[in-house]
């Protein structure tokens, strides 16, 4: 279980650094503000599970860049400085090293997410809201996993290149494509189809499915599903049936591919 | 028991052949010195041993474990002082050693390990603030954790002052006395000569000699060094010595002529100088140093 040793070291290093601490305070602040605003601007009933649907787009916008920020230096920074040689002189496998770094960094972000949503839960419930504990816990878990997706993307970028700068560029490009470009392209494509009068054809289904394949889309769909007691009669691809496997795929996919690639790379 | 075994080991980087069919064995308990000029392939060999890079051809195993397929099993028994490493940012010296202790799953007191390398007083300082020599000591401390069966040290005395280098040698002797095998790569030939039982000389990726230092001396014809102080050192004087049968190398150093040669060639060299009109002011003979032998084997390339 040497990944625990690596994760513990990364946890400590991350919490000792100033920038990660500031971003975590920012994350907790954003979630708290959302919880403070929600009872004022939200529609009744005010519940913790409906708060999840309300805050998911806020969280999505904050967790993604923080996750990449936490992840991109995990391997590449030490590769560039030479500390990776020291790390790999210990009896750790390369995959273990990548996994340990991921766990340590995702753990820090996850702990801050739990803390932020814990504070938010109190603000939502007091004085007028209702606590729906199981659904809220599921949303907290979902949010932690969403943060882990982006840490995983950052760590994957870090494991695929040799310098910190390239890892940052790769992470930011992934962030830009998955958060901004993806939505813009699929929304634009759908608008074009509607303008062309194509409202009921396989091509529109493909566009709408594609719109659900990014991590943010999957997170918001799952967050909304947790809030709603009635799942309604939408298309299958608008609900958890597609969002859940997509979400799990983003959680495991980039990190697994990067571990596989890193395992066999020359590190001279 | 064979500890390190390389068979037909080759590594190519694009058009550059960094290692060319290297065959090498290091036995248990040996202190083996690995020599070669810059770019000879020493670090590539160690990088393959540590699993940092994969060989293009051939195999390298440590304690019977292939370094590529079973690298973790190799490193469980190996302490490493890698070349060109940097400490972890944000960790103190003590935290580095604690990390090594937890990684190797052993029960040791970090203070004891740091005392051994002379870093106990600086244990709480961030290791990134350490000098080069202190970083070398820290990496050695991490390597020593868990009493490894094999120590792999890549240029371990880099950045150390003479006292530090002497302390490093003393630690290596203690480790050798404990029964550890030591694989030692260095440019500082005096260090290698002081601690190694056997050496290998690598040049242009090929292992051109492997023997004890006495064996290498025999291989160059007895390995005597003749140091002559003539009244002048010019091409004629150097040429006169070079022409003598049994003379292997001739160099000028600080107004003297240094020649490695067989015992029989010493007097012939002095006579040849006299016949060339060069007056010999003084002369002495020494055993050829490892550096002299290195120059001889590598055709004049200094380590």
Which residue among A13, A82, A264 places its CB closest to the CB of B85?
Answer: A82
How far from B176 is each of A92, B170, B173, B196, B198, CA to CA, in Å?
Answer: 26, 10, 5, 10, 13
Asked if residue B247 and residue B126 are part of one domain, the reply reads no
Q: Is residue B296 part of a domain?
A: no
Helix A94-125 × helix A2-16 angle, to 10°: 50
B51-66 tens-digit pLDDT: 999 999 999 999 999 9
B47 CB neighbours in chain A (<8 A) are 267-268
CA B152 to chain A, closest CA, distance in angstroms equals 10
Q: Do A17 and B90 touch (CB under 8 A)?
A: yes
- Check if the beta carbon of residue A75 is closer than 8 Å to that of residue A47: no
CATH of the domain at B12: 3.40.50.300
Asked if residue B184 and residue B39 are part of one domain, the reply reads yes
Asked if residue B111 and residue B260 are part of one domain, the reply reads no
pLDDT band at A139 (very low <50, low <70, confident <90, very high): very high
Q: Is residue B263 part of a domain?
A: yes
How far is residue A38 CA from its own chain's centroid?
22
Name the DSSP letter for residue B19.
E
Which range among A79-93, A116-130, B254-268 shows the weakest confidence by mean pLDDT?
Answer: B254-268
Q: Is residue B39 part of a domain?
A: yes
Q: Is residue B132 part of a domain?
A: yes
Asked if residue B31 and residue B124 are part of one domain, the reply reads yes
- Check if the beta carbon of residue B116 is closer than 8 Å to that of residue B147: no
Average pLDDT rounded to a whole number, residues A27-53: 88
Asked if residue B157 and residue B75 are part of one domain, the reply reads yes
Higher pLDDT, A52 or B295: A52
Higher pLDDT, B63 or A53: B63
Asked if residue B253 and residue B232 are part of one domain, the reply reads yes
The answer to whether residue A81 neighbours chain B at the CB level (below 8 Å) is yes
Asked if residue B128 and residue B110 are part of one domain, the reply reads yes
Q: Is residue B270 part of a domain?
A: yes
Closest CA to B71 of B88, B47, B93: B47
Residue B301 has pLDDT above 60, yes or no: no
Report the predicted TM-score, pTM, of the whole model to 2 decimal places. 0.83
Q: Do A86 and B139 touch (CB under 8 A)?
A: yes
CA A171 to chain B, closest CA, distance in angstroms equals 21
Q: How far apart are CA B59 and CA A54, in angstroms?
A: 59
| Mean pLDDT (chain B, rounded) | 88
Please state, for a pLDDT cut of 70, what percent of chain A lies above it.
Answer: 98
Q: Is residue B276 part of a domain?
A: yes
- The complex scores an ipTM of 0.84
Residue A17 is predicted with a pLDDT of 87
Asked if residue B200 and residue B252 are part of one domain, the reply reads no
Residue A228 has pLDDT above 80, yes or no: no
Q: Is residue B22 part of a domain?
A: yes
Asked if residue B238 and residue B202 are part of one domain, the reply reads no
Asked if residue B246 and residue B142 are part of one domain, the reply reads no
Asked if residue B243 and residue B191 are part of one domain, the reply reads no
Q: Domain end: B188, B212, B236, which one?
A: B212
The answer to whether residue B58 neighbours chain A at the CB level (below 8 Å) is no
Burial class, B120, CB count within 10 angstroms (exposed 0-12 / middle 13-18 / buried 19+): middle
pLDDT band at A229 (very low <50, low <70, confident <90, very high): low
Q: Is residue B254 part of a domain?
A: yes
Provide the domain count of chain B. Answer: 2
User: The domain containing residue B233 runs over which residues?
Assistant: 221-287
B111-137 tens-digit pLDDT: 999 999 999 999 999 999 999 889 999
CA-based nearest residue in chain A for residue B141 = A86
């Amino acid at each position: 279980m040497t990944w625990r040793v690596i994760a513990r070291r990364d946890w400590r290093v991350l919490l000792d650094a100033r920038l990660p601490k500031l971003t975590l305070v920012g994350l907790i602040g954003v979630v708290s503000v959302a919880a403070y605003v929600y009872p004022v601007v939200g529609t009744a009933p005010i519940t913790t599970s409906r708060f999840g649907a309300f805050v998911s787009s806020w969280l999505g916008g904050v967790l993604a860049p923080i996750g990449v920020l936490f992840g991109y230096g995990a391997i590449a920074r030490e590769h560039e400085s030479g500390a990776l040689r020291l790390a790999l002189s210990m009896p750790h496998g390369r995959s273990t090293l990548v996994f340990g770094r991921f766990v340590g960094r995702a753990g820090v972000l996850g702990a801050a997410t739990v803390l932020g949503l814990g504070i938010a839960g109190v603000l939502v419930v007091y004085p007028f809201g209702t606590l729906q504990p199981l659904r809220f816990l599921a949303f907290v878990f979902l949010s932690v996993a969403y943060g882990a997706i982006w840490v995983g993307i950052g760590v994957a970028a870090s494991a695929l290149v040799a310098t910190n700068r390239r890892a940052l560029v790769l992470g930011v490009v992934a962030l830009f494509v998955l958060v901004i470009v993806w939505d813009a392209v699929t929304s634009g494509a759908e608008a074009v189809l509607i303008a062309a009068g194509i409202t009921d054809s396989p091509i529109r289904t493909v566009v709408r499915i594609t719109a659900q394949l990014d991590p943010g889309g999957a997170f918001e769909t799952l967050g909304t599903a947790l809030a709603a007691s009635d799942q309604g009669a939408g298309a299958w691809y608008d609900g958890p049936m597609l969002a859940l496997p997509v979400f799990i795929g983003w959680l495991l996919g980039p990190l697994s591919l990067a571990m596989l690639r890193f395992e066999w790379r020359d590190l001279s | 028991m064979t500890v390190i075994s390389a068979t037909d080991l080759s590594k190519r980087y694009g058009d550059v052949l960094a290692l060319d069919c290297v065959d090498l064995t290091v036995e248990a308990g040996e202190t083996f010195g690995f020599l070669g000029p810059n770019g000879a392939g020493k670090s590539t060999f160690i990088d393959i041993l540590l699993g940092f890079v994969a060989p293009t051809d051939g195999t390298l195993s440590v304690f019977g474990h292939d370094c590529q397929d079973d690298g973790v099993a190799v490193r469980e028994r190996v302490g490493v002082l890698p070349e060109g490493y940097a400490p972890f940012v944000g960790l103190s010296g003590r935290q580095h050693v604690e990390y090594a202790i937890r990684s190797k799953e052993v029960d040791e007191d970090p203070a004891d390990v740091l005392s051994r390398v002379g870093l106990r007083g600086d244990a709480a300082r961030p290791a990134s603030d350490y000098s080069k020599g202190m970083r070398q000591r820290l990496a050695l401390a991490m390597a020593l954790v868990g009493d490894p069966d094999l120590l792999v040290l890549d240029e371990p005395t880099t950045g150390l002052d003479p006292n530090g280098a002497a302390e490093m040698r003393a630690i290596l002797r203690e480790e050798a006395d404990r029964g550890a095998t030591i694989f030692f790569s260095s440019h500082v030939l005096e260090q290698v000569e002081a601690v190694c039982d056997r050496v290998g000389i690598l040049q242009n990726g090929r292992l051109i000699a492997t023997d004890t230092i006495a064996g290498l001396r025999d291989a160059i014809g007895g390995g005597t060094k003749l140091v002559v102080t003539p009244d002048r050192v010019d091409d004629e004087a150097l040429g006169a010595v070079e022409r003598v049968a049994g003379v292997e190398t001739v160099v000028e150093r600080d107004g003297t002529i240094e020649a490695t040669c067989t015992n029989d060639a010493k007097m012939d060299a002095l006579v040849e100088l006299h016949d060339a009109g060069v007056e010999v002011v003084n002369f002495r003979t020494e055993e050829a140093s490892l550096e002299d032998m290195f120059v001889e084997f590598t055709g004049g390339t200094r380590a």
